[in-house]
Amino acid sequence: MPRTKEFDPDVALQAAIELFWRRGYEATSMQDLVDHLGIGRASIYATFGSKHDLYLLALDRYCTDIAGIYTHMLAQSGPALPGVRALVKAFADKALTDPDRKGCFVTNAAVELAPADHDVARRVDEGLTGLESALLGSLMRAADQGELGADKDPYALARFLVTFLQGVRVIAKRPDRRRLEAAVAQALSLLD
């Protein structure tokens, strides 16, 4: 008769996200996962597969969770640009207030693993494309509603903002309030 799990896989996956996000893939050993998740090595393998499999699941869950947050921010009814501005400011605020200075899990994955790991690269691309699509939808709505000048290209703005926001998340590793606030003000001025 098979044993029942003595842990919640969702709670364990969330704990894995936190550990991989803070330390990175290479710096996280299987023993680190055992200690942090509070479950045995065999249970990790049986539930999640290899360390790499668990990392991919953690990255997938993070992307799903973060996409829900920015989709909610951008999907507000009425004018579209306030949601875009709020999203940019939220990225900067997170960079300035995160005591662990983790940055962004997707950005960290892009820097650490994407150049050599096809599975990670695909997830990074999907995550960034999802953010770009959400921003593009809001910027196109802003253009349709007359909030965005006719001289503004929603596609170019969406691509720029994704690149800018990833830079903000890199700067989050060593945030400088004046630098970040000036950069955010400059980025937001492109929406005027």
pLDDT tens digit sequence for 56-100 = 999 999 999 999 999 999 988 899 999 999 999 999 998 889 999
Range of the domain at 151: 9-189
Share of the chain above pLDDT 70, in %: 97
Q: Tell me the average pLDDT across 33-40.
A: 95
Q: Kindly report, residue by residue over 89-117, the tens digit of the pLDDT.
A: 999 998 889 999 998 999 999 999 999 99
Distance CA 17, CA 60 (A): 10
Q: What is the CATH number of the domain that holds 130?
A: 1.10.357.10
Residue 144 domain flag: yes
Residue 3 domain flag: no
Quickly tell me which residue has 């001025």 as its tokens: 189
Distance CA 145, CA 138 (A): 10
At 58 the pLDDT is 97
Q: What is the DSSP letter of 160?
A: H
| Total domains in the fold of the chain | 1
Residue 102 domain flag: yes
Q: Is the pLDDT of residue 2 over 90?
A: no
Residue 1 domain flag: no
CA angle 36, 40, 44 (to 5 degrees): 85
The pairs formed by 64-70 with CB atoms below 8 angstroms and a separation of 24 or more are: 66/104, 66/105, 66/106, 66/127, 67/127, 67/130, 67/131, 67/134, 70/131, 70/134
Cα→Cα distances 71→68, 135, 142, Å: 5, 9, 15
Q: Tell me the average pLDDT across 12-24.
A: 96
Residue 4 domain flag: no
Distance CA 104, CA 158 (A): 18
At 172 the pLDDT is 81
